[in-house]
Amino acid sequence: MAFSRRLFAKALVGAGSIPLAGMALDAMRGAGDDAPSAGDRSASTAGRADVTSDSPGEPRNQPSSPADRTFSLGARRAGEGGTPLDSTTQYLYNRRYPAPELRVPAGDTIQVAVENDLPKGTGTTVHWHGVPVPNEMDGVPGVTQDPIPRGESMTYAYEASPPGTYMYHSHVAQQMDRSLFGPLVVEEEEPRLDYDREVVVFVDDYLAATPPTEENPDVPLYDGIVVNGRLPDDPQEVGVTAGERVRFRFINGASAGVFDLRLAGHTLKVTHADGRPVDPVQVDFLRFGSAERYDAVVEFDNPGAWELAATPVNAGDLGDPEWGRLVVDYEQSSASPQSPRGSPTRLDRSMLRAVERYGHVRGSPDREYGLTLSPGDDGAWLMGGQRYPDADPLSVSPGDHVRVTMRNESEMYHPMHLHGHFFKVGHAVRDTALVAPGQQVTFDVYADNPGEWFFHCHNQYHLASGMARVVSYDRQA
Ligand SMILES: [Cu+2]
């Protein structure tokens, strides 16, 4: 079993020689990053739906009452028997790992009653990752709400829109790494792609122990990469028929893992990134970080038994867990599953082109922020040289076009997530951007959802060590 501080800060070799620039925007300009494209109001996108709001001073997705759908989630400690993964250190919604899929038609108002039955003294919240909810429904302790105390409940309500593949999870401490998470699917009225059925694939780095803290970092690391709640030695089998087209909704529910996802014997036609539709692009595999999602259609035209593999890119940081898998089995196949091989094509950010229009970000931005992503002293992780909560908010006004440039000055991946908004990165529209070691990424965002919004690394250990800021609307429009 691995014991280490690896989930916490790991500096670049010789990092002391690199200035921890707080707002060194000039140094970041023109450094060959993925600059966002201009407005894209071209013939090919004219008349298409705009994913930004036309009322930037109004909260997005306000619920109508009564709700169209109601759900209830009970957060409890596991370990009362049941599954082989039922560790007493896990917390579960409705005793399920991962939690039940919430599936709703786009435009419906949903109400989710969350009951906190966790151990004494443990508060909780639920965050609806990627959905631009009204600010008070966003589930961030200390920013949008106080945690729900043990023994009490709270009802979250919002309009489920736009359609897409999302996830929900606790935003308190390391509760996500204790398994308080699940898929959230908002269905299109009419999917713009052809497929026969759907399979949701939820990938997690499975921790059977109390999550490490900064005070007590020396605990066992991950026991394996889990796909749809199954450890690698007992993978889920999905039966398929030759000629069938399956829409996969891949969700990275890991707290630290970055995975390469590949299906042996087949290619992935990627159709959505973070729930937002893209022009379909055919690849052999894709790499995704915590909380990123991809939809991909697979045409099953190669009979046999094949592995869908989730291989951690940062395995050393996770304690070298066995890679995750799911087995796809054609009818009447008695073959043993084959693993992916060869030198394949990986999905690159530059291949993603949004189908929807992202309006209001033409020309030069109203505000610009440059933020280094870097390790600090004593295991800290910093954005722009500051450690949350001792960090300045990033001010915006309703209707602003804001440009954010992030430069990763570390050897670790940082999946950076902005709450309450979509942003434009390259030609794609997303809510999470994976910033690779040494890489620089720029996104443009239209400030169309007033409130106080968390912006942070989705690696739960980097977040806990300070890698966060609050984007703060400074006035009403
Ligand atoms: Cu990070």
| pLDDT confidence band for 16 (50 / 70 / 90) | very low
Residue 56 lies in a domain: no
pLDDT for the residue numbered 27: 54
> How many structural domains is the chain composed of?
3
| Ligand 1 centroid distance, CA of 334 (Å) | 43
Residue 332 has pLDDT above 80, yes or no: no
- For 339, the domain range is 197-351
289 and 377 both lie in a single domain: no
Q: What is the pLDDT of residues 238-270, one digit of tens each?
A: 999 999 999 999 999 999 999 999 999 999 999
pLDDT band at 182 (very low <50, low <70, confident <90, very high): very high
With 60 as the cut, is the pLDDT of residue 389 above it? yes
| Assigned domain for 47 exists | yes
| 177 shares a domain with 91 | yes
Domain shared by 162 and 86, yes or no: yes
Provide the pLDDT confidence category of residue 54 given band limits of 50, 70 and 90: very high
Position 1 scores a pLDDT of 30
One domain, residues 373 and 405: yes
Ligand 1 mean position, distance from CA 208 (Å): 22
Same domain, 301 and 343: yes
- Cα(373) to ligand 1 centroid in Å equals 8
Q: What is the pLDDT of residue 409?
A: 97
* Average pLDDT, integer, range 137-148: 98
Within a domain: 395: yes
Residue 338 pLDDT:
87
Q: For residue range 107-123, list pLDDT tens digits in order.
A: 999 999 999 999 999 99
Whichever domain contains 109, its CATH number is: 2.60.40.420
Three-state secondary structure readout of the chain: CCECCCCCCCCCCCHHHCCCCCCCHHHHCCCCCECCCCCCCCCCCCCCCECCCCCCCCCCCCCCCCCCEEEEEEEEECCCCCCCCCCCCCEEECCECCCCCEEEECCCEEEEEEEEECCCCCCECCEEECCCCCHHHCCCECCCECCECCCCEEEEEEECCCCEEEEEECCCCCCCCCCCEEEEEEECCCCCCCCCEEEEEEEEEECCCCCCCCCCCCCECCCEEEECCECCCCCCEEEECCCCEEEEEEEECCCCCCEEEEECCCCEEEEEECCEEEEEEEECEEEECCCCEEEEEEECCCCCEEEEEEEECCHHHHCCCCCEEEEEEECCCCCCCECCCCCCCECCHHHCEECCECCCCCCCCCEEEEEEEEECHHHCEEECCEECCECCCEEECCCCEEEEEEEECCCCCEEEEECCCCEEECEEEECEEEECCCCEEEEEEECCCCCEEEEEECCHHHHHCCCEEEEEECCCC
Tell me, what's the pLDDT at 79? 77
Position 4 scores a pLDDT of 40
Cα(367) to centroid(ligand 1), Å: 24
Same domain, 167 and 232: no
Indicate if 229 and 343 belong to the same structural domain: yes
Q: Are residues 372 and 339 in the same domain?
A: no
How confident is residue 36, by pLDDT bands cut at 50, 70 and 90?
very low
Verify that 344 and 370 share a domain, yes or no: no
CA 340 – ligand 1 centroid, Å: 28
Q: Which residue has the higher pLDDT, 220 or 347?
A: 347
Give the model's confidence band at 334: pLDDT under 50 very low, under 70 low, under 90 confident, else very high: confident
Shared domain check, 73 and 46: no
What is the CA(462)–ligand 1 centre distance, in A?
5
Share of the chain above pLDDT 70, in %: 87
Residue where one domain finishes, among candidates 316, 351, 386: 351
Note the pLDDT of residue 26.
Answer: 54
Instruction: Provide mean pLDDT across the span 270-289.
Output: 97
How many Å lie between the centroid of ligand 1 and the Cα of residue 303? Answer: 40
Residues 256 and 203 in one domain: yes
Distance 410 CA to ligand 1 centre (A): 9
Model confidence band, residue 152 (pLDDT cutoffs 50, 70, 90): very high
**Residue 163 confidence (pLDDT):** 97
Q: Do 166 and 269 share a domain, yes or no? A: no
